[in-house]
Amino acid sequence: MARTSAAGRSAGVDPEALWPTAERPRRGRPPAYSRAEITAEAVALADAEGLGAVTMRAVAARIGAGTMSLYSYVPNKETLLEFMIDQVSGDHRMPREPSGDWRADLRQLAREQRALMRRHPWLPAALPARQTLGPNALTVLEYALAVLAPAGLDARARLETFTLLTGFVASHVSYELAQEQATVAAGRTSRELLEAQARHLRSVATGDSYPHLAEALTAASQDPGDQDAFDRLLDRMIDGLTAAV
Amino acid sequence: MARTSAAGRSAGVDPEALWPTAERPRRGRPPAYSRAEITAEAVALADAEGLGAVTMRAVAARIGAGTMSLYSYVPNKETLLEFMIDQVSGDHRMPREPSGDWRADLRQLAREQRALMRRHPWLPAALPARQTLGPNALTVLEYALAVLAPAGLDARARLETFTLLTGFVASHVSYELAQEQATVAAGRTSRELLEAQARHLRSVATGDSYPHLAEALTAASQDPGDQDAFDRLLDRMIDGLTAAV
DNA sequence: CTTATTCTAGTACGCCGTACGGAAATTCCG
DNA sequence: CGGAATTTCCGTACGGCGTACTAGAATAAG
């Protein structure tokens, strides 16, 4: 056997060829699917039924392929997840050049991140684990660094700022989604568990061992939820992260 | 059969009895282990070999029990994870009352969170998914809300602030750990993959399509790492999150 | 001692990711 | 045109996971 294919299954790691420019080999049976197609199907599945529903068998079934056929396009499931992240990163809309008002640009960037994460609710959970950057994520990062260039931070601080801003957005979206789940709720698998949790909290709240907690809970249950809490907090975050040292 | 045990396996959910005050039943074979012991062993395992090594079989083997015996103490693995989180939350050191200087108290709280997460590196990854609060986590939350009481925020904002601050700490610790892993690295399973990543980034950096990225990368590789970046950023975060609306 | 109760743990089931290898499809070379 | 080489397709199978079931062991009560 000569050389394995670009995404060949047998290569332990074929480093030159993750995120390849992949010229189709001219010999051999032509592929019936494509990495992008498989990744898209995995994303659709995660959007519809959550990350847990993304199994190699389920993805393969959706495109009508045999399970093991996926391994011609993707070395393993972990890498498929990275492809998924990068693919949705490609939907990130942004101008070609910063506008000059870096605060406005940064705010817009975070809003776009938030929109992306709300469209793909598995994203906040999937992001923090991995550190690999695909080409689409790299493009976003490059743009973010360009935006931050005139903000008076050194290169390291710019990188930190973007990382932490992304972390903030992920945290906030997780929080938002959990809130919405909780209020909708009751249709899910474990409504009993949610009720148990609620009862537990209420019993805590009625006792006077946790006065501040009680107050926060009653306030949260009255107030239907702040519409633009995100924008408000975002501004504060930007102030904090980019304030001169 | 009368009633299932407090943490009885057969109850789909036995809501009153998660985090129970659990009086031992007076009849029947006495338990050979305890939930705390099992949880502690699971935590030790996660500390030593990562969250992925925490399997019911592995935990059972460590305490010398049969795998299925665990299910007398813990309804399922997910719940075991929540017990783990709450158990380590119990190590969170804090004064009984806020000192009066809420900024200092908040800073100290975040530092303690960071210490906890560094001691249990699986914690930042495990935290965001779950929203259930055990008694130890509740104590921390109550204290945090007490600290924030004089900060001039309404109850909802106080809750948000604590949530986001915790998110920030988790993000930062994840980032720290990843950095340290990367510089140590090379001993891990997939050093080839790391090299591939590094080569990929370097090739990006040498090309001039990503000038800002190139600058950030070279800066990051020179600079050995800021010792007290955490404290610096933490102050900015606190400023941002608690600035008057 | 009998009986009810509770905990222990072996066995087994249905998932998962994926290694392996033969069959099928295509191009290259003689 | 006819092998040979190469690549993809995918059925089978293996080890590991969470955990349902259940028989049996250990204890307390009557």
List pLDDT tens digits, range B179-207.
Answer: 777 666 544 444 555 555 666 666 766 77
Residue nearest to nucleotide C28 (CA to C1'): A27
Residue spans per domain, chain A: 31-89, 102-242
- Per DSSP, A159 falls in state H
Exposed, middle or buried by CB within 10 Å (0-12, 13-18, 19+), for A86? buried
Question: Does B168 lie at the interface with A, CB-CB under 8 angstroms?
Answer: yes
What is the mean pLDDT for each group of 10 consecutive residues in chain A (245 residues)? 38 53 79 96 98 98 98 96 97 96 97 98 90 90 96 89 92 86 54 58 72 84 73 87 70
pLDDT value at residue A188:
44
Q: Do residue B240 and residue A239 have CB atoms under 8 angstroms apart?
A: yes
- The radius of gyration of chain A from alpha carbons, rounded to an integer in Å, stands at 22
Query: Is B138's pLDDT higher than 50?
Result: yes
Question: Does A185 lie at the interface with B, CB-CB under 8 angstroms?
Answer: no
Q: Do residue A201 and residue B174 have CB atoms under 8 angstroms apart?
A: no
Q: Does the structural domain A102-242 have CATH classification 3.40.50.150?
A: no
Q: Do residue B216 and residue A156 have CB atoms under 8 angstroms apart?
A: yes
pLDDT value at residue B64:
96
In whole angstroms, give the CA distance from residue B128 to residue B81.
12
Q: How far is A57 from chain B (nearest CA, A)?
A: 22
Superfamily of the domain at B30-89: Homeodomain-like (1.10.10.60)
- Residue-wise pLDDT for B51-68, tens only, equals 999 999 999 999 999 999
Which residue from B124, B196, B233 is facing A164, i.e. has the nearest CB?
Answer: B233
In whole angstroms, give the CA distance from residue B245 to residue B235.
18
CA atoms within 13 A on the CB side of B38: 30
What's the CA–C1' distance between B30 and D28, in Å?
Answer: 10
* Chain C footprint positions (protein CB, under 7 Å): 4-11, 15-21, 24-28
- Per DSSP, B53 falls in state G
Higher pLDDT, B61 or B176: B61
pLDDT value at residue A72:
96
**Which chain B residues are Cβ-neighbours of A13 within 8 angstroms?**
190, 192-193, 196
pLDDT value at residue A13:
44
In whole angstroms, give the CA distance from residue A101 to residue A147.
8
Checking each nucleotide's C1' against the CA of A60, the nearest proves to be D10
Question: Does B185 lie at the interface with A, CB-CB under 8 angstroms?
Answer: no
Question: Does A188 lie at the interface with B, CB-CB under 8 angstroms?
Answer: no
**Which chain A residues are Cβ-neighbours of B190 within 8 angstroms?**
13
DSSP assignments along A99-147, one per residue: -S-HHHHHHHHHHHHHHHHHHSTTHHHHTTT-----HHHHHHHHHHHHH
Identify the H or E element spanning A198.
helix A191-206
Q: Do residue A15 and residue B193 have CB atoms under 8 angstroms apart?
A: yes
| CATH code assigned to A31-89 | 1.10.10.60
Q: Do residue A210 and residue B239 have CB atoms under 8 angstroms apart?
A: no
> What confidence tier does B47 reach under pLDDT thresholds 50, 70, 90?
very high
pLDDT value at residue A169:
94
Task: State the pTM of this model.
Answer: 0.87
